[in-house]
A and B are shown apart, each in its own frame.
Chain A
Amino acid sequence: MIWKDEYKIGVELVDSQHEELFKRLGDFIVTVRSDQDKEEKRKEIEKTLDFMGEYVVTHFNAEEALQKRYNYPDYENHHKIHEDFKAEIAEFKKEYKENDYDEDFVLEFSGRLLTWLINHVASTDQDIGEHINSVK
């Protein structure tokens, strides 16, 4: 599994959502890397990608609501990062279809996604935890 306790930011709601997000990311990656019939695989990839993508939106909304509630100073910048990320997923879905569901294309996207999300949670999101815990 992808989730590690070291990625915790010290805010229970956010940590439990991050753990769920990584679980769905993991399922997506396992599917992308699996050896199966192209058509079956494409359906599974789309299913796991959608499942992860919808949780990205749920989680980002919840996290941003929390940031606002606690007057997180970097809210605007963080919100933009979230919006850009959501746009990237949407762009990928479009190009994946246009590229006739090319395997290398989705492998490349999912590898980059793994590193990006880990860095976002383990590094960028840590500041939120520090802020919330200092004003509580």
Chain B
Amino acid sequence: MDVKYLNPIIAATDSVFETMLSLKPEKGKMSVQEELITDKEANVIIGMTGDIRGSIVYSFSEEMALKVVAAMSGMEMDTLDKFVTSAMGELGNIISGKATVGLSEQDLECDIVPPQIVTGKEINITSEADSVLMVNFNTELGDFDVSFAIK
């Protein structure tokens, strides 16, 4: 797994959180696992094709997803309903789209597919990747993970 494609994704995450939510994500722990197992309830999966094939997965706790959408909408959110999950899905889509621009500047041409959202407790997101790199970010609204399951 080549680290050079991490930076555009991290940069895109920082930029979108700053612009849209006035949050500054602090990069924390990084870990490499064989599978993507998460205890976070709201997961946005963005498939990637082209020079990099696999998925980027954004994982948020239910609490954080509700807080993020409440911050964007100015309205109280109390369930992980279709409104919340699709708002978070679009966030993942925007970050990933921005990342492909950064990757293209490194001569890596990629496309992304529409978000798939998986909710629940203790989720195992299976993929064809041999390993999964997970980066944890911390913000004032909670911490979230960005995982790369790259083939």
- Contact surface of A with B, Cβ cutoff 8 Å: 1-2, 6, 26, 29-30, 32-33, 104, 107-112, 114-116, 118-119, 122-123
B residues 15-51 touching A (CB-CB < 8 Å): 16, 19-20, 22
Query: Are A107 and B94 CB-contacts (below 8 A) given A6-B22, A119-B16?
Result: no
A6 to B87 CA separation, bound complex (whole angstroms): 20
Query: Are A111 and B75 CB-contacts (below 8 A) given A33-B83, A122-B20?
Result: no
A18 to B81 CA separation, bound complex (whole angstroms): 27
B residues 51-69 touching A (CB-CB < 8 Å): 69
A6 to B90 CA separation, bound complex (whole angstroms): 20
Residue-by-residue, is B62-91 near A (CB-CB < 8 Å gives 1, otherwise 0)?
000000010011110000011111111111
- Contact surface of B with A, Cβ cutoff 8 Å: 16, 19-20, 22, 69, 72-75, 81-91, 94
Q: Is the CB of B83 within 8 A of A26?
A: no
Which chain B residue has the least Cβ–Cβ distance from A109? Answer: B86
A126 to B89 CA separation, bound complex (whole angstroms): 23
Q: Is the CB of B90 within 8 A of A111?
A: yes
> In angstroms, how far is the closest chain A Cβ from the Cβ of B95?
10
Which chain A residue has the least Cβ–Cβ distance from B68? Answer: A115
Q: Which of B20, B22, B83 makes the CB contact (< 8 A) with A108?
A: B83
A114 to B82 CA separation, bound complex (whole angstroms): 13
Q: Which of B72, B74, B75 makes the CB contact (< 8 A) with A33?
A: B75
Q: Is the CB of B87 within 8 A of A115?
A: yes
A33 to B70 CA separation, bound complex (whole angstroms): 13
A104 to B86 CA separation, bound complex (whole angstroms): 11
Q: Is the CB of B20 within 8 A of A123?
A: yes
Which chain A residue has the least Cβ–Cβ distance from B89? Answer: A112
Q: Which of A1, A30, A108 makes the CB contact (< 8 A) with B82?
A: A108
- Residue among B20, B73, B75, B81 having the largest count of chain A Cβ atoms under 10 Å: B73
Q: Is the CB of A32 within 8 A of B94?
A: no
